[in-house]
Structures are given as structure tokens and as C-alpha cells.
């Protein structure tokens, strides 16, 4: 199966869910045009409160639609954009990417994966119970966070549902994703 974009979403205000759009425009070094998280420095409220000068490693939030399939099988009703992601994908193992992997989306956009999204209590405020469903554990007892990945924009461009996604692996050894 080819990796594709299934939905794109944005919001100009700090809300948990984002509205689906026909297209979004990525701006190099900044994020998504018109989105509340646009900028070179961190925009997530909890991170701004700690240090507003931190670099914005969370310009674009991606979630794999296979997570929504899993949540729906567990009785939750979740659609693209409702968990705050900007780009919903299908057919790509986002969580298995190496830190620094680049995703080439559509004809021009390039983003670089910076790390994992750490699920927060807003997930259970949105709907009771999915917080536990987006966390798992491995055989060694490590927490597995399944609520998507974060990225920065390397090359801007418009992306829309149906666009292809290609992966460029970074040089050197695999570096597992950590929360950013």
C-alpha cells in the first residue's frame, strides 16, 4: 500500500480539535499558514509557560488513520482532525520513523520528524477513555505512545488529501523517536 495523506486540518486558535480543510499550506521554518502553532519558537501553551524561547519542534502534527481504526474497534468515535493533528496519513509507520526522517508530501512539501506527541489529558476531555487506548507497553515495560508524531517544515508547499508521502531516511544509525 502506498503512503498517502487522508486529511489535512488546521485551526487559528488553540483548540484541541482542528477543522478539516481542502488543503493546507506549509511554510518553511514556520509550520502551517493560519495555524495557532505557526512560528519558529514553541507555541504549545504548556511549553510557552516553561520557556517561550524554545525552538518549535512541533510545527506539524501527524497521526496515522490506522490509530482511528483501532480506536473505533474499541468503541470510540474519532475522525480526522479531532485529536488535534494537522495531517492524517494511511499506509506509513509514523511511529517507527527515525528522528530526522524526512517526509516528502505531494509535489513540494518536505517535513522532518522531530519526535513523538506525548498524549495529554485533553484526549480524555475530548472523549472519555481514549487516553488509555493511545498508550501501550512493550515487553521491557517501556511506554509506547501512539498519538502521532511531530515535525518541522523544511520546504513549504500545499498539501491535500490524496497526496503521496515518500520517506527519506536520515544518514547514520536509527534514532528512536522521543517525546518533544
Q: Where are the domains of the chain?
A: 4-168
- CA–CA gap between residue 127 and residue 84 (Å, rounded): 13
- At residue 144, the pLDDT reads 82
* pLDDT tens-place string over residues 8-50: 999 999 988 999 999 999 999 999 999 999 999 999 888 888 9
| Helices first, then strands: H and E counts in the chain | 4, 13
Q: 124 pLDDT exceeds 70?
A: no
Query: 3-class SS at 165?
Result: strand
- At residue 125, the pLDDT reads 67
* pLDDT tens-place string over residues 40-91: 999 988 888 899 999 999 999 999 999 999 999 999 989 999 999 999 999 9
pTM score of the predicted model = 0.94
Among candidates 24, 37, 65, which has minimal Cα distance to 150?
Answer: 37
Instruction: Report, at the CATH architecture level, how domain 4-168 is classified.
Output: Beta Barrel (2.40)
Task: Write the DSSP string, 75-123.
Answer: T----TTTTS-SEEEESS-GGGPPTT-EEEETTTEEEEEEEE----THH
Amino acid at each position: 500500500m502506498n503512503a498517502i495523506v487522508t486529511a489535512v486540518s488546521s485551526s487559528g486558535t488553540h483548540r484541541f480539535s482542528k477543522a478539516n480543510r481542502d488543503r493546507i499550506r506549509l511554510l518553511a521554518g514556520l509550520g502551517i499558514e493560519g495555524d495557532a502553532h505557526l512560528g519558529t519558537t514553541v507555541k504549545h501553551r504548556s511549553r510557552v509557560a516553561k520557556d517561550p524561547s524554545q525552538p518549535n519542534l512541533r510545527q506539524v502534527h501527524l497521526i496515522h488513520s490506522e490509530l482511528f481504526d483501532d480506536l473505533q474497534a474499541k468503541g470510540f468515535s474519532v475522525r480526522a482532525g479531532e485529536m488535534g493533528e494537522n495531517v492524517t496519513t494511511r499506509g506509513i509507520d509514523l511511529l517507527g520513523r527515525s528522528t530526522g526522517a524526512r517526509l516528502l508530501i505531494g509535489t513540494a512539501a518536505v517535513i522532518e520528524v522531530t519526535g513523538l506527541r506525548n498524549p495529554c489529558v485533553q484526549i480524555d476531555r475530548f472523549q472519555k477513555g481514549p487516553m488509555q487506548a493511545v498508550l501501550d507497553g512493550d515487553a521491557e515495560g517501556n511506554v509506547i505512545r501512539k498519538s502521532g508524531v511531530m515535525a518541522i517544515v523544511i520546504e513549504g508547499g500545499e498539501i491535500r488529501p490524496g497526496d503521496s508521502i515518500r520517506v527519506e531516511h536520515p544518514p547514520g544509525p536509527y534514532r528512536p523517536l522521543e517525546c518533544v
